[in-house]
Amino acid sequence: ESSSSSGSPPAGRARRSPVPAKPSVFTSGEGLSVVKADTPSAMPRGAADSSEASAELIRLAQLKAASSLRQNAPPPPANMRPDDWFCPICTTHNYASRTRCFRCNQGVNPGRGGGVATRALGRV
């Protein structure tokens, strides 16, 4: 008997992919198929490119989903202050003092660095 801890795979078994499995944003292959159909240039050219192409397809699908969320977003909260901002990725409401989204840690506050958010610091 050979075990998988011996270092080499048993005869007749395929080698595992060097890239560990990552959780997907898709519950079925349907969402990924739509993105693949929309982005033919992102298709893999070889085995080495397949993980990069898959990551790019997932990123494109996430951006497409975020765009849909933005279009169907509810009106801003009543307690929103002038320099608060919405994350461009997940559309979460963030306070002006934050430079990155508290939910997804993406997207830099568009008001920071431009003087807009710093002017509001004197207001209460």
Q: Is the dihedral of CA 63, 72, 98, 115 positive or negative?
A: positive
pLDDT band at 58 (very low <50, low <70, confident <90, very high): very high
| pLDDT digit string, tens, across residues 10-43 | 555 555 545 444 444 554 455 555 545 555 554 5
Q: Can you give the residue ranges of every domain in the chain?
A: 26-41+48-72, 75-124
H-type alpha helices, the chain = 29-38, 47-71, 116-120
Percentages of the chain per state (helix, strand, coil), in multiples of 5: 35, 5, 60
pLDDT of residue 57: 92
Lowest-pLDDT choice from 3-17, 37-51, 109-123:
109-123
